[in-house]
């Protein structure tokens, strides 16, 4: 399936809906709403937020970048509606985030996922991300699994 992926403001209804569905899914997987180390992303600290839409315009996936330093950014809020998993929406969002990171002159993308998300772990490994030591707020967190990919 072909998706259009484009930047959108963080606070749109579609973006908020997708992020809310992501939170609900993670809350269910982890059995609580206390499963995100560090600060949750906000409109003020996100460099880019993208939404993937079907041809009819329905928002089905999202993702964001939060710049960490002059060379790197963290992927945040990657989410695909369950009905669209395995259809190319996640790679479309990821490629869009990677292209923007390159445009911004960044050389590394990092991300954190969790031990209760084996599907995300498989996806990132398939997409060329390598497991790294937990960084920043994820250091020492037993539920966190971190990855990075060089963009150079």
Higher-pLDDT residue of 81, 33: 81
Cα–Cα dist 65/89, whole Å: 17
Tell me the C-alpha to C-alpha distance, in Å, between residue 40 and each of 3, 31, 66, 152.
27, 18, 10, 28
Name the CATH topology of 4-150: Aminopeptidase (3.40.630)
DSSP 18: H
Give domain limits for the chain: 4-150
Q: What angle do CA 88, 73, 69 make, to 5 degrees?
A: 170
| Whole-prediction pTM | 0.94
Residue with tokens 């899914």: 25
pLDDT bin (cut points 50, 70, 90) of residue 81 is very high
- What mean pLDDT do residues 53-71 have? 97
Cα–Cα dist 65/52, whole Å? 15
pLDDT tens per residue, range 1-53:
899 999 999 999 999 999 999 999 999 988 888 777 888 899 999 999 999 99
Condensed to tens digits (0 to 9), the pLDDT of residues 104-148 reads 999 999 999 999 999 999 999 999 999 999 999 999 999 999 999
Q: Strands (DSSP E) along the chain, which ranges? A: 4-7, 48-53, 59-67, 72-80, 108-114, 130-132, 144-150
Phi and psi based region of residue 141 (left: phi greater than 0; alpha: psi -120 to 50; beta: remaining): beta
């Amino acid at each position: 399936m072909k998706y259009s992926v484009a930047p959108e403001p963080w606070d749109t209804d579609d973006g908020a809906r997708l992020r809310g569905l992501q939170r609900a899914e993670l809350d269910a997987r982890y059995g609580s709403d206390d499963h995100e180390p560090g600060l949750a992303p906000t409109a003020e600290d996100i460099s880019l937020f993208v939404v993937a839409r079907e041809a009819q315009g329905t928002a089905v996936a999202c993702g964001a970048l939060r710049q960490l330093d002059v060379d790197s950014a963290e992927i945040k809020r990657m989410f695909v509606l369950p009905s669209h998993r395995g259809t190319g929406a996640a790679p479309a969002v990821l490629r869009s985030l990677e292209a923007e990171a390159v445009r911004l002159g960044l050389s590394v993308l990092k991300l954190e996922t969790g031990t209760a998300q084996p599907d995300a772990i498989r996806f990132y490994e398939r997409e060329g991300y390598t497991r790294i030591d937990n960084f920043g707020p994820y250091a020492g967190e037993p539920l966190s699994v971190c990855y990075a990919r060089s963009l150079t």
